Structure 1
Amino acid sequence: MDDEKTFSFENFGLDFRVLKSIYALGWKEPTLIQEKAIVLAMEGKDVLMKGRTGCGKSAAFLIPIINKLLELKSSDSLQAIRAVILSPSKELCKQLFEHANALNACSSKWITIVNVAEGRPLKPLLIEKPDIIIGTPSALSKLAKDGTLGNVKETLNFLVMDEADLMFSFGYEEDIKTLISSIVPSSGCQSFLVSATLNTDIKDLKKLVLQSPVILKLEEPDLPDSDRLTQYHIQCEEEDKFVLINALFKLNLIRGRSIIFVNSVDRCYKLKLFLEQFGVKSCILNSELPATSRCFVVDQFNRGIYNILIASDEVCVNDPSTRKKSGSKRKRDNEFSVSRGIDFQNVSNVINFDFPTSVVAYIHRVGRTARGNYDAEGTALSFISIKEQKYFNEVKDALSDGSNFKPYQFRMEELEAFRYRSKDALRIVTSIAVREARIKEIKRELLSSEKLKSFFKEHPKDLKLLQHDKALHTVKHQPHLKHIPEYIVPPTLQTMVKGTTVTDWRDVMDEDEESEQPVVNTQKVIKKRKFNHKNKDPLKTFTIDNKRKRN
């Protein structure tokens, strides 16, 4: 049998400027969805793309659009809005904008791209008629209504709806209908619907947007294979969840970048306040924070400034049927979703502190790790209470053999000392402390995002100074909780942690309460750490030692 030939980006017949931008990103060959979709797009077909998160869907429509615009500009000198790309959240719009700019890096003299979801004054940006506009349906429908987009209906060549299955869930149905009637030419334009799932909303959008489309549905599992993604579950009740998360971080059983998912904004702050007392720093991502702050958090997390991110899911992501029933008086950004689409990079662990209430939400949460077609590996760990058992059973049934769940087994009785300390810490994380933390964080982030926005434009290198993992200090801290004396380390782990960072933690890390910045002697940490780094799964350690003890 002949060896299968490798398909490369040169096979598409792309403009040399587009190829140069692609190779500058370090991409050697297209992913499967890119290989199929770019060919169809270059032929001018409408495409409905369904593919797993992290499979390269964005580039599958951005590459042909940029390439076709370059071709168009070689014969037509009219400067006009030629492409509109819709995405359901501000974070995803920013991510698409950055991605598009990277693919346009070597052709930026000819093609201009504007993100209208940023919230800054837009008219000066749109006067020059950018070639590509990226935004949420609500932002673009406002611009269409007030005439800011001009005669776009006469010039539009491309329309894209990214994360299309969320469009109606986010309440964009009327905005989308307004947009289509306002900007799409009567003769139509080449359109793309892009989604990780296919549901009834997609069928409705398909009728509105696409004309005789090619449906590109990759036959692939919803989650990466078990050799790349290891999924653990722990049966535990509410108090045990806090005991476990405390032990996992303080005993260094979790290594690498971690996203902890909870099901409400209050839970974000409760968990952050709890971990603060043990000297475990984390940052928060939820719909109450300003859009600029959320984008900063994602960017800095991806750059490795934070290792632990606590994120809350939106109700409509967990259960779309509840999206119109929310009675909350708290001001939240409806154009926000953590688990969907955002390209968190190099995430080693996803922890479901609260188990998601739908199969789709589980898939998208866990999809934040082991992303793409590369050698990336990841671990998912789910805490499951009795009340959450039914949701866990639904996930197991839906994923069937693809779930590969493993019980994360250990002896809870060995964590009695941690239980005592956790109770002590939880006792002072009251509902009042949580409410005060929410108010304090929102005020701090609003101040930072507004006052520093113009400063960062002039001093982009100083952006790293805006930290989002500072202690909230709405509860009284007990200094002794930050240190782990040797006598409370579980017997199973004594041989592993004896003489390591756990025993000498107070010598390794000190905290300046005024600056709230940790001072870490990294050389000492690295020298004393005795974990087996060949074991890429950070959660296997405890299990392996338990087996050793039982034998």
Structure 2
Amino acid sequence: MAAPTESHGSEHSAKLLGFHEMGLDDRILQAVSKLGWKEPTLIQEKAIPLSLEGKDVLARARTGSGKTASYAIPVIQKILDRKQVTREQCISTIIMVPTKELGAQAHKNILELTTSCSREVRCVDISGKGDLPSQRPLLSENPDIVVGTPSKILAHLVARNMSVKDSLQFLVIDEADLVFSFGYEDDIKELLKHLPKIFQTFLMSATLNDDVKALKKLVLHNPVILKLEESQLPEAGQLTQYHIKCEEVEKFVLIYSLLKLRLIQGKSIIFVNSVDRCYRLKLFLEQFGIPACVLNSELPINSRVHIVHQFNDGLYDIVVAADDQTLLDPAQTSAAPSKKQKRKYQDKEFGVSRGIDFQFVTSVINFDFPSNVDSYIHRVGRTARGTNQGTALSFISVAEMPMYEEVQETLSKTSPEGADSFKPYQFRMEEIEGFRYRAQDAMRAVTKVAIREARLKEIKQEILNSQKLKSYFEDNPRDLQVLKHDKPLHTVRTQQHLKHVPEYLVPPMLRSMRAGTKRRQPHAYKPKPAPTQTQMRFKKKKEDPLKSFEFSGLKHIQNAKKFKKKKH
């Protein structure tokens, strides 16, 4: 076997090759134009021509750099080329993803790229839609592209719901660095037995770790390795990273004051490290009238996808997300779960900080600092995507300092800004000391019992919602907007006074800014003055039917007398 060739891209290289210069079908170019893509990203410009030449590609590029289109476009082009020669319908492409959410996203992206050739190129997503018998009809039509998790694809191959031994031309493994850590190593080894010996492979990854190297040996043949010379996170001009050193109670005080004083605006994702913390924070914010929806591995897949869609559509601004434990610590996948862990259902094919395409996220808040460098990179990668600006704010306790220092050291090696990537958030804790008592009051109300009840209530409600989404809402898409996920859970006693911030609690600097804003308003509201006693008596007289009674003919007599006087 020939040694793999390596290619290093640079953002400062020559002018990018345009989509129209890649020899793509007009229908693909039309879809690209409709999506508003003026020019390819660095990974697309490097990977698409190599893929069209028939080479296996292992590409490493950061989150949000356009990796999905870099393999989807050449796959669609090759399918269109094949259908000019033969009309035989067969499964020619398998796209494997580590999470159901990423499967839904990849399927959506492919549908967008095939809007002008949807009859010629058909794609189905089997990652999260029911059991094998319900999915069999989808595969019986031999769609061109099948998207799914390795375990789901293997199950269908074993059940003979689909056969690709003679038809497969392309195998794509997206987010390859997560596939083994999610426990799919045995599935992939078994799955390869059902595939032909020769096919073209794409491996897309944000990092080139040992898992990716092991996967490369299994599926790649003389690949071109694309290592793009770019930092793992966007530059400081696009992404601003702040940190605040604080303890547990101060984290809750800070999040309450920052959101209530509107120092954080726009769409935000708040990351925590466990499902319990997810509901603790939601119930805490709920007491102050701050709506937020939770996103974690306990919720049904339909609800999780729907939450992301509604968040992207702007129906709510705050998502409290719990990272999947296998992502936080991949070593946990090999460890045997405890009895307590077995009792709690968690979907292993779930990951919040990876794969899910959150759109137009203004800020990412690490309420709990992540437990490894990759997790930090992928959490923060949810904002500042494409050309959008973004902010990342991390709360760091004393116990989390070693991890913070490790992240800072790693980023300083890959980022041109070096150690200056993190900036201290200029915030005086003493100015929000008045918020502390309210926060502590709200924290005491969020008991373990309240959290447990909230989890049970949310899961029951979302299971019901999931069934509705699966059946009724397929026929009534407009009604989807009514089904929201950020409603209060009401497992904690609500104190109405906590929903309002009195003026004396507002820091002096913000108070003066508020006052200045009011003075600048040209049409400021002015309350009407209280009525005088004379006005009140007159009003009372008019309301009294006896005193306000007038003989209708009296006015005519008076007017006649006035007319006669004027005449004489």
Q: Same fold (TM over 0.5)?
A: yes
The whole-number CA distance in structure 1 between the counterparts of 2:127 and 2:166 is 23
Deviation by residue 1:127-161 (Cα, 9 ceiling, x = unmatched): 110000000001101001111113x1100000000
Could you say which residue in structure 2 is the equivalent of 1:409?
Answer: 426
Could you say which residue in structure 2 is the equivalent of 1:106?
Answer: 116
Alignment of 1:27-42 (within 5 A): 27-42=37-52
The whole-number CA distance in structure 2 between the counterparts of 1:180 and 1:102 is 29
Structure 1 residue 499: deviation in Å?
7.8
Alignment of 1:354-503 (within 5 A): 354-372=368-386, 374=387, 376-400=388-412, 401=418, 404-498=421-515
| 8 A Cα contact 1:231 1:403, kept in partner | no
> Secondary structure of 2:204's partner?
strand
Does 1:337 pair with 2:351?
A: yes
Could you say which residue in structure 2 is the equivalent of 1:129?
Answer: 142
Structure 1 residue 338: deviation in Å?
0.4
| 8 A Cα contact 1:319 1:358, kept in partner | yes
Alignment of 1:99-498 (within 5 A): 99-120=109-130, 121-150=134-163, 152-182=164-194, 184-186=195-197, 188-325=198-335, 326-327=337-338, 328-329=341-342, 330-372=344-386, 374=387, 376-400=388-412, 401=418, 404-498=421-515
CA gap of 1:252–1:163, structure 2 versus 1, over 3 A, is same
> Secondary structure of 2:166's partner?
helix
TM-score w.r.t. structure 2 length? Answer: 0.86
Structure 1 residue 497: deviation in Å?
2.8
> Secondary structure of 1:463's partner?
helix
| 8 A Cα contact 2:16 2:45, kept in partner | no
Does 1:77 pair with 2:87?
A: yes
The whole-number CA distance in structure 1 between the counterparts of 2:425 and 2:376 is 18
The whole-number CA distance in structure 2 between the counterparts of 1:42 and 1:410 is 52
Structure 1 residue 272: deviation in Å?
0.2
Structure 1 residue 6: deviation in Å?
5.0
The whole-number CA distance in structure 2 between the counterparts of 1:238 and 1:527 is 41
The whole-number CA distance in structure 1 between the counterparts of 2:524 and 2:28 is 46
Structure 1 residue 111: deviation in Å?
1.1
5+ residue gaps in structure 2? 1-12, 413-417, 526-568
CA gap of 1:403–1:311, structure 2 versus 1, over 3 A, is farther
5+ residue gaps in structure 1? 502-523, 529-551
Structure 1 residue 451: deviation in Å?
2.9
CA gap of 1:87–1:4, structure 2 versus 1, over 3 A, is closer
> Secondary structure of 2:359's partner?
coil
Structure 1 residue 317: deviation in Å?
1.1
Return 98-107 or 120-129, whichever deviates more: 120-129
Return 225-234 or 450-459, whichever deviates more: 450-459
Letter in 2 for 1:219: E
Deviation by residue 1:238-279 (Cα, 9 ceiling, x = unmatched): 000000000001101001100000000000000000000000
The whole-number CA distance in structure 2 between the counterparts of 1:486 and 1:465 is 35
Does 1:22 pair with 2:32?
A: yes
Letter in 1 for 2:323: D
| 8 A Cα contact 1:243 1:422, kept in partner | yes
| 8 A Cα contact 1:225 1:402, kept in partner | no
> Secondary structure of 1:259's partner?
strand
Structure 1 residue 417: deviation in Å?
1.2
The whole-number CA distance in structure 2 between the counterparts of 1:208 and 1:416 is 58
> Secondary structure of 1:357's partner?
coil
Structure 1 residue 36: deviation in Å?
0.6
> Secondary structure of 1:154's partner?
coil
| 8 A Cα contact 1:85 1:133, kept in partner | yes
Say what the alpha-carbon RMSD is for the aligned residues. Answer: 1.6
Could you say which residue in structure 1 is the equivalent of 2:77?
Answer: 67
| 8 A Cα contact 1:260 1:308, kept in partner | yes
> Secondary structure of 1:23's partner?
helix
> Secondary structure of 1:254's partner?
coil
Letter in 1 for 2:482: L
CA gap of 1:465–1:527, structure 2 versus 1, over 3 A, is farther
The whole-number CA distance in structure 2 between the counterparts of 1:357 and 1:218 is 26
Structure 1 residue 94: deviation in Å?
0.2
Structure 1 residue 77: deviation in Å?
1.8
> Secondary structure of 1:28's partner?
coil
> Secondary structure of 1:215's partner?
strand
Could you say which residue in structure 1 is the equivalent of 2:531?
Answer: none
Max radius of gyration: which structure? Answer: 2
Alignment of 1:39-50 (within 5 A): 39-50=49-60
Structure 1 residue 498: deviation in Å?
3.7
| 8 A Cα contact 1:50 1:198, kept in partner | yes
> Secondary structure of 1:471's partner?
coil
Moved over 6 A (4+): none
